[in-house]
Structure formats: structure tokens, C-alpha cells
Amino acid sequence: MDTNNRKNDVERWLSVEEIALHLGVSKDTIRSWIKKGTIPFHKVGRLYKFRISEVDLWVESGKSADADKASKTLEV
């Protein structure tokens, strides 16, 4: 494997804004999920960062639906 291929294998960290766009939800929804600890995230200093592979697995597992239900319950 050459150096160029290894660079392509490294997964980029996404910001709150980028993961919100990826999921089609608002940044406030992402922040709410972070606060509840439902979405997989990593804290880097004061920043929240996401691996798209972890978030996609979270969505596929159905756990995101539970987080969405909890958010709607709190909004009422």
C-alpha cells in the first residue's frame, strides 16, 4: 500500500454543521442529541466531532429513531 492510498483510508472528522447536513437535520437537533448522549460523538477541546461511519451505523441500528422520539417528547 502506498502513502497516497493510506491518506484516502483515513476518515475525516465532521463538524456539527457537516453532520447535520449529512443527516438532513438542524444543528440544534444535533446539539440536543449530543446533550442526551444519543448520537456518537467525540469531544476535541471545546469542539464536537463525528465520524460519518459511526453516525451511519447509529442510524442503521435504529437508535436515531429513539433519539428523534425523545426530542419530540421534550418539544411538546
Q: Could you give the domains of the chain?
A: 10-75 (1.10.1660.10)
Which band of pLDDT confidence, cut at 50, 70 and 90, is reported for residue 74?
very low
pLDDT tens readout for residues 44-69: 999 999 999 999 999 999 866 666 65
What lies within 8 Å, CB to CB, of 56 at 6+ separation is: none
Q: 34: pLDDT confidence band, cut at 50, 70 and 90? A: very high
Would you say residue 75 has pLDDT above 90? no
Q: Using CA atoms, how far apart are residues 33 and 11, in angstroms rounded to an integer?
A: 22
Angle at 15 between CA 8 and CA 42, to 5 degrees: 85
With a CB cutoff of 8 Å and minimum separation 6, the contacts of 53 are 11
Closest Cα partner for 41 from 20, 71, 65? 20
